[in-house]
Amino acid sequence: MNKKTLLLGGLLSCFSFLEAAPAFDFEDGAYPGDSWDCVSEIVENPSKDDVNGSGNCLKATFSETWGAVASFSHPADYSKQALAILVYTEDGGKITARAYNQAEDKNYEISQMSKAGKWTRLTFDFSDMTPSSNSIIILSGAKNTIYLDDIELISLAELPEKETLAYTYGSLAIGGGGFVAGIVASGDAKYARTDVGGAYKWNAANCSWMPVTNFISEDEVGLYSVEGLAIDPSNTDNVYMISGCQYFSNAMTAVMFSKDGGKTFTTVDVSSLLRVHGNGNGRNCGERIAVDPNNGDVIFAGGRAGSPIIKSVDGGKTWNAVSTFPNVYETSVNWPSWTNNSLATTSDQNGVTAVVFDGSQKDGGVTSRIFVGVSRTSGSNVYVSEDGGSSWAAVSGLPSNLIPCRMKMDPDNNLLIAYSNACVGGASGAIYRYNPNSKVAEDISPSKQYAFGDVAVSPKDAKKLFASTNNTWIPQAWDDGKSANGDIYWTSVDGGKTWRSLQNNMTLTNNGVTWIPGYAIHWSGCVIFDPKDDNKVSITSGNGIFTCNNVWCDGKPTFYFDVNGLEETVALDMVSVPGGDLMSVIGDYTGFIHKNIHEFAPIHNPAPGTTGGINYYSKNPDVMMRVANTGFYCTTTGHDGWKSMSKTPYSYQNPYCAECAPLASNEGKCAITKKDGSYRFFLIPDRDGNSGLYYSDNNGESWTKVNGTDGATHVQVDPENDAYVYVGGKNKFWRSSDYGSTYTSQSLVNGDLGRIAIVPGHEGLVFAPRGTNGLAVSKNHGETFENLPAVSSCTAVGCGKGANDGEFVIYIWGDAGNGTGIYRSADNGASWLRINDKYNQFGGTGNGKFIVGDWNVYGRFYMSTVGLGIVYGELAENASSSSWSCFIDDTECKLESSDVDDVANGAADFSSFAFPNPFDESFVLHGEGDFVVADALGQIVEAGTADGEVTLGANWASGLYVVFVDGQTFKVAKK
């Protein structure tokens, strides 16, 4: 059947395309389409030129932006074809093509710019977005008159060659900084999921984490809140995540699955079935999604609201509610709370906490026994199916007054459950082992005083257990003498009959991340053993991941900060000083001084926590200011001279914490000028425009409020002329020519995007993002603005070093003709080049809403994100990469084990071991296989083949040595 094809745009017109896709040129005077809110007619070409010399064209005049002219046409095959049109408008402007994919029920858009008073041939290539469309929609978004001609589908080979500029992307090395909600491992595969930073895959080759969710778009940014993750045990290349955030992306919930080990993902919207909230209370529970170990096409997933569990039988492509599951939800809420979308859920809105397959029970090629945990204490909360999900029954003998936060099977096919009396902030709990064959439940809790986050079990030995509390605050010791309060951990080698507390028997070390000492391992809702090495345990924390390579040490095992490559901070502001430092401020952990983008950065000192603003005086970068939520700081002598400033009369009450004390700022902003020989500090305490602008001429001892600046959200000083101060705000712009004492204002509709950009070396030049209204520029100190015509939308703008002295590059997050993304212009905004692709979208600019050019490295820029740290992009030809190294544990201790008497440290599979260790003269390597020994610098000192026993070390110098056996396992030996 024919499909409707539409060309809309201000206009919406439609034309028939035959299989050969000839141009519709209107020369015969015919136009078979219908129209609404539009007058259309075939007219004489208003401006014949070299681009379009035809006699006739279509003229469409629209009384509304949704005016339309339509007819039926052949569908577009965008895997092979692109849309091409000729457009003429008097004023020029944005023309957007929209392709509707009926199978996905989703629109895709590309924008191009038409020239004023000239015919412009525009082409739209959707091949990277959607394979097909049953409609073509062209929008100009205005009540205007448009002329169209030569509408055609052309082959992709006919497209003009695109200008390209290769970019490489990465994240600034900060190290963790956010809540890692879960770690999942199977075979050689290991992934971590976070609450706002997406998911990461472990790279064993260099002991680092690699992001796998950089593809998430701005429209689907809520999917960075990953609520559950599963690896297919039968094929570890198959990975599944269930994600969603209640306050982003219209509360969308989706399953994202990969069939190539996390290289690419397919997203399936399941919002109509259930909802999750990966940044909500209880996100530490899990895992909420699981793959049948006996049939990788079968996946079950649980949610917080809607249907308790859903099921896929085709590897995640399609999903249906499991209607046989009991009605365990005792209430209904509006999801999200500000809508009327009522959904069933548990009283704590945590829903289903975990889904677990018992792979030992199989029937008809699928696992028959499945367990599901539910976050409630009003009745039974662990359910089992013995027939693959066709029917369910409550498991008896387990506590119903505690919530099953984490569940898993042990090697003996028992179910282990970690309980807490609340999904967050619990004060009591238990650990149970349940035998599903005998139906006997056993309480194996190490204590009754705490809420438990998880219990991990060795994949080789069901007697080896590791347990964690959640929401406990007990001192933990760092190796530099610092201490911080966090959770408690226990080990057991007899299946939980006895436990050893690590409260005073463990040491934390920073692993090169200098800012982390003094912070604790906390919110430990997930712990796992390495699948191939049950010496190695990893713990999730509110600030990252901590790992121990020798957890059975009977001394004090070392837990190191295991966050190479894992970035999960929320950046709020950033500055690049020409000839100076790159500096950031972030949520929770203050901010950093970035001397090298690949090396963990030092934290600002003092470090007061969430900091919204940072700036410097352009003529003396040692003069700086920071705006923390708890107070303000300035220095006139560089990083070592920070001093506290007084507070303004404004205060901010966190709406999510009524019992919290009022704050001095809500992620405010600042700037600095110099007047009459003294520094003048500017401050906007509230990022949302509720405070107005203040200034201080006495280093913050007192503040003067500037009247008439309500709505101000960002402030900058002209880098070349101290007298000019620029203030961006909610649909408004202020300028001062008297050092910020008085201001004039003008309307500048910007969708509340008040962050402005200035350009060192260029007086009077100001850029202002205007959201869907484009990008404005002033060349006269903000007196007047004009829009850059090539940019149709702009959320953030920043400038950086140009290729030559005196030049600069403009960077934006927005749309300059090729969809929403990152663009750069090296010709003052006359032309733009998109420099990111669909694999590198990062969810847009997130909370910080900034893009900052580097003023010391040509081609490099930095961008804020919703929670995956600070993204950087640099020219591929100049790119460098991080050089990560594995942590070597030289703790002197023997290993406590139920079946191993190896005393070596480090990762090991114990098919070989070394003794004695440490050694004075030599040691004996027991085992079989090829071995290589390297010193601490990585130099090979000895290699050979072990056949039972081999004596090593007699001629080695004192130091640490790493022994590799069969290229995989290693030990650390000390002489």
Instruction: Note the pLDDT of residue 822.
Output: 98
| Dihedral angle computed from the Cα positions of residues 914, 917, 919 and 922, in that order, rounded to the nearest 10 degrees | 0
- Alpha carbon 223 to chain centroid distance? 8
Give the largest CA-CA distance in the chain: 99
- Residue 313 CA to residue 298 CA, distance in Å, equals 4
Beta bridge partners of 537: 529, 548
Average pLDDT over residues 65-69: 66
The torsion angle over the Cα atoms of residues 912, 914, 915 and 919, rounded to 10 degrees, is 180
**Confidence at residue 935, expressed as pLDDT on a 0 to 100 scale:** 58
Could you tell me how far CA 6 lies from the centroid of its own chain?
36
Of 16-20, 68-72, 458-462, the range with the highest mean pLDDT is 458-462
Using CA atoms, how far apart are residues 967 and 909, in angstroms rounded to an integer?
12
CA pair distance 787, 776, nearest whole angstrom: 4
The whole-angstrom distance between residue 821's C-alpha and the CA centroid of its chain comes to: 16
**Residue 529 Cα to chain centre, angstroms:** 25
User: Is it the case that residue 859 has pLDDT exceeding 90?
Assistant: yes
Domain ranges of the chain: 3-158, 571-878, 913-974
The pLDDT-based confidence of 895 (bands split at 50, 70, 90) is: low
Please state, in angstroms and rounded to a whole number, the distance separating the CA atoms of residues 787 and 457.
61
pLDDT, residue 128, reads 82
Nearest to 713 by CA among 739, 684, 733: 684
User: Higher pLDDT residue, 347 or 925?
Assistant: 347
| Secondary structure in 3-state letters for 266-299 | EEEECCCCEECCCCCCCCCCECCEEECCCCCCCE
Nearest to 461 by CA among 502, 501, 496, 493: 493
Pick the CATH number of 571-878 from 2.160.20.60, 3.40.50.970, 3.40.50.150, 2.130.10.10: 2.130.10.10
Tracing tokens 């009926």 back to the chain, one arrives at 102
The answer to whether residues 856 and 801 touch, using CB atoms and an 8 Å cutoff, is: yes
Q: What is the mean pLDDT of residues 451-471?
A: 98
**383 burial via Cβ count (<10 Å: 0-12, 13-18, 19+):** buried
- Contact present, 497 and 872 (Cβ < 8 Å): no
Beta-bridged to residue 120, according to DSSP, are 87
pLDDT at residue 37 in the model: 79
Residue-level pLDDT at 477 = 96
Tell me the pLDDT of the chain averaged across its residues. 90
Q: 3-state class of 793 per DSSP? A: strand
What is the Cα–Cα distance from 42 to 57, expressed in whole angstroms?
Answer: 6
Tokens of 588: 């929770």
Range among 63-67, 198-202, 335-339 rated most confident: 198-202
Q: So what's the pLDDT on residue 962? A: 67
Q: Is the pLDDT of residue 510 over 50?
A: yes
Q: For the segment 915-947, what is each residue's pLDDT rounded down to a tens digit?
A: 565 677 777 776 777 777 765 444 566 877 877
Tokens of 172: 């600034």
Which among 793, 833, 795 has a CA at the least distance from the CA of 94?
793
CA dist., res. 220 & res. 488, Å (int): 37
Residue 251: strand, helix, or coil: helix
Residue 226: CA count within 13 A, CB half-sphere: 33
Please report, for residues 361, 827, 947, 970, the alpha-carbon distance to residue 521 in angstroms, rounded to integers and kept in the order given.
37, 49, 42, 27
User: β-strand 786-787 against 793-801: which pairing, if any?
Assistant: unpaired
Q: Which residues is 72 bridged to in the sheet?
A: 4
Amino acid code (one letter) for 565: G
CA dihedral 756, 759, 765, 769 (to 10 degrees): -30
Q: Which two tokens stand for residue 889?
A: 């544990």
Average pLDDT over residues 426-455: 97
Q: Chain-centre distance of CA 177, in angstroms?
A: 12
User: Which residue type sits at 400?
Assistant: S
Quick one: three-class SS letters along 103-158?
CCCEEEEEEEEECECCCEEEEECCCCCCCEECEEEEECCCCCEEEEEEEEEEEHHH
- In this structure, CATH architecture of domain 3-158: Sandwich (2.60)
Banded pLDDT at 71 (limits 50, 70, 90): very low
Token pair, residue 685, equals 């305490």
What is d(CA 261, CA 243) in angstroms, rounded to the nearest whole number?
18
Predicted confidence (pLDDT) at residue 913 exceeds the cutoff of 70: no
pLDDT digits over 355-380, tens only? 999 999 999 999 999 999 999 999 99
Q: What is the pLDDT of residue 161?
A: 81
pLDDT in tens, 691-726: 999 999 999 999 999 999 999 999 999 999 999 999
Angle at alpha carbon of residue 529, lines to 526 and 535, rounded to 5°: 135
pLDDT reported for residue 818 = 86
For residue 303 the two structure tokens come to: 């949610």
In the structure encoding, which two tokens stand for residue 831, read together? 């032309």
What does the pLDDT average to over 318-326? 99
Distance from C-alpha of 431 to C-alpha of 405, rounded to nearest angstrom = 10
Distance of CA 635 to the CA centre of its chain: 33
pLDDT band for position 27 (50/70/90)? confident
User: Taking a C-beta distance cutoff of 8 angstroms, is the pair 969, 911 a contact?
Assistant: yes
DSSP state of 24: B
> pLDDT band at residue 904, thresholds of 50, 70 and 90?
very low
Which of the two residues, 659 and 436, has the higher pLDDT score?
436
Give the model's pLDDT for residue 133: 83
Percentage of the chain modeled with pLDDT above 70: 91
